[in-house]
Amino acid sequence: METMYLVLENGRYFKGRAFGAPLSETTGEVVFTTGMNGYLETITDPSYCGQIVVQTFPMIGNYGVIPAEFESKEPRLAGYIVREWCREPSNFRNEGDLDTFFKDRGIPALEGVDTRALTRCLREFGTMNGRLTRKAPPYSEEELQEIRDFRVVRPVLQVTVEEKEVDTPSEVKYQVALWDFGAKHNIVQELVSRGCEVTSFPATATAEEILAAHPDGIMLSNGPGNPEDNSEIIAELAKLCEAQIPMFGICLGHQLMALARGAHTTKLKYGHRGANQPVEDLDTGRIYVTSQNHGYMVESDSLPEGARVRFINANDGTCEGITYGDMPAFSVQFHPEACPGPWDARWLFDEFIEMMRK
């Protein structure tokens, strides 16, 4: 296998072996995820658009490629890094291996990297840009500056649906408008399984277009990038909030709802990514283990009057969920659809259903 390097914007580099697409180089934001399983859901999560994903768990690919577990039609990540990928996956549902999967989709990957050292570096210095390249060191200051200057331009528009899509259950009880900023497939499935006909709207939709569908509830999906870059969406969302329709936001949707109500967001040092993030419900004191994938957070002390923090991260105390007292709405930073991850928080979909019922 050919030698390939990960070069970070601070000049540190890691040597490994190339697999996947034989591209000469690719640049992206380097992030790590701590999930011990669910790599297929991670790879196909649209929220990783433009990012080079590092798996901290050492062996990846042991159950192969299973399309039924994809969270989107195609992966959007820029690159993938593992300690070791399994050449001979074993699972009765397996339909291929990761090397072929990445080759077919033009995504470069790197194995043989000391992912523990790489993760410690990202934790110490924070998330940073990096480049997968076959060029051996040393690297010039000009090359490092190119890596530092890299930005993903409007990633939400790269991952949203192009036009409206409808998913219908066998028995329709509620009409839900899903504003798709890069929605994971299982969000739709959780709603459909509860009797919701889900109409997915592109990120470019206006408040008037969504309201014209006369939804019983509005779901704001997860998605990639800096929430503050979506000024048009935030403006339209502020109009939706005035309609007093039950609303549920997840991850990016949680952040956008807060911004639409006048709160602020800020970037975390290295984010929360993985299927094992503890969250405390301040209403009950109960701890939930959750799946998360985000690099930004809502600033708790910036919430508008009538809004309150309901969930916090049990590790660092950051905001993980908000309840709004002046409208039928709530939001969470984590992923209650649990793909990948534990099922602890799936009851939040039932809370949304009850809100629509009332």
pLDDT digits (tens, 9 = 90+) for 107-118: 999 999 999 999
By DSSP bridging, strand 217-220 and strand 174-179 are: parallel
Positions of CATH 3.50.30.20 in the chain: 3-152
Q: Write the pLDDT tens digit of every residue in 284-330.
A: 999 999 999 999 999 999 999 999 999 999 999 999 999 999 999 99
Q: Write the pLDDT tens digit of every residue in 147-171.
A: 999 999 999 999 999 999 999 999 9
**Which is catalytic among the residues 49, 196, 251, 339?**
251
By DSSP bridging, strand 3-8 and strand 51-55 are: unpaired
196 is catalytic: no
Distance separating alpha carbons of residues 195 and 190, to the nearest angstrom: 9
Q: Which residues of 34-45 are buried (b: 16+ CB within 10 A; e: fewer)?
A: bbeebbbbbbbb
> For every residue of the chain, which 3-state class applies, written as one string?
CCEEEEEECCCCEEEEEEEECCCCEEEEEEEEECCCCCHHHHHCCHHHCCEEEEECCCEECCCCCCHHHCCCCCCCCCEEECCEECCCCCCCCCCCCHHHHHHHHCCEEEECCCHHHHHHHHHHHCCEEEEEECCCCCCCHHHHHHHHCCCCCCHHHHHCCCCCEEECCCCCCEEEEEECCCCCHHHHHHHHCCCEEEEEECCCCCHHHHHCCCCCEEEECCCCCCHHHCHHHHHHHHHHHHCCCCEEEECHHHHHHHHHCCCCEEEEEEEEEEEEEEEEECCCCCEEEEEEEEEEEECHHHCCCCEEEEEEECCCCCEEEEEECCCCEEEECCECCCCCCCCCCCHHHHHHHHHHHC
Question: What's the average model confidence in pLDDT over 80-89?
Answer: 97
335 is catalytic: yes
**Which is catalytic among the residues 121, 185, 335, 339?**
335
**pLDDT range class, residue 342, cuts 50, 70, 90:** confident
Distance separating alpha carbons of residues 228 and 299, to the nearest angstrom: 13
Q: Pick from 195, 221, 200: which is nearest to 350 by CA?
A: 195
The whole-model pTM stands at 0.96
49 is catalytic: no
Residue 343 pLDDT more than 90?
no
**pLDDT range class, residue 102, cuts 50, 70, 90:** very high
Distance separating alpha carbons of residues 151 and 165, to the nearest angstrom: 30
Positions of CATH 3.40.50.880 in the chain: 156-357
Distance separating alpha carbons of residues 56 and 231, to the nearest angstrom: 34
Residue 24 pLDDT more than 90?
no
**Check whether domain 3-152 has CATH 3.50.30.20, yes or no:** yes
**pLDDT range class, residue 339, cuts 50, 70, 90:** confident
Question: What's the average model confidence in pLDDT over 22-39?
Answer: 93
Q: Which CATH number fits domain 156-357: 3.40.50.410, 3.40.50.300, 3.40.50.880, 3.60.15.10?
A: 3.40.50.880
